[in-house]
Amino acid sequence: EPEVTQTPSHQVTQMGQEVILRCVPISNHLYFYWYRQILGQKVEFLVSFYNNEISEKSEIFDDQFSVERPDGSNFTLKIRSTKLEDSAMYFCASSEAHRGVETQYFGPGTRLLVL
């Protein structure tokens, strides 16, 4: 069964460093998402992406964050200058279409720790 994959599974970085989290969505999916979950808190929406542009972003997704689909398979989240509070589990998701029941399929997540 097709699945969303994410690399790395864990990343430790120093505050102020740039990190790139990688995702390979399901191949025929057109919509891509990033969510994050700070330990003990809710899963929060960060950004959605379609047709090579951001379709929606949350207030968390400030100028330190960017997303890119550099080729036909990868979808990346870049944090330009990490802060301690960026430590979280980051989930990538993809969906075939954009309306309701075309559900989002999630990857296993990347656990980011900023020291």
Partner 1 sequence: GEDVEQSLFLSVREGDSSVINCTYTDSSSTYLYWYKQEPGAGLQLLTYIFSNMDMKQDQRLTVLLNKKDKHLSLRIADTQTGDSAIYFCAESGANFGNEKLTFGTGTRLTIIP
* Binding letters toward partner 1, positions 41-80, x by CB under 8 A: xxxxx--x------xx-x----------------------
**35 with 27: CB under 8 angstroms?**
no
Told to check if 109 binds partner 1 by CB under 8 A, we report yes
Q: Can you read off the two tokens belonging to residue 18?
A: 């740039």
Cα–Cα distance, 13 to 37 (Å, whole number): 17
Q: What angle do CA 44, 11, 69 make, to 5 degrees?
A: 65
Told to check if 107 binds partner 1 by CB under 8 A, we report yes
The residues binding partner 1 (CB under 8 A) are 4, 6, 31, 33, 35, 41-45, 48, 55-56, 58, 91, 93, 95, 98-101, 103-109
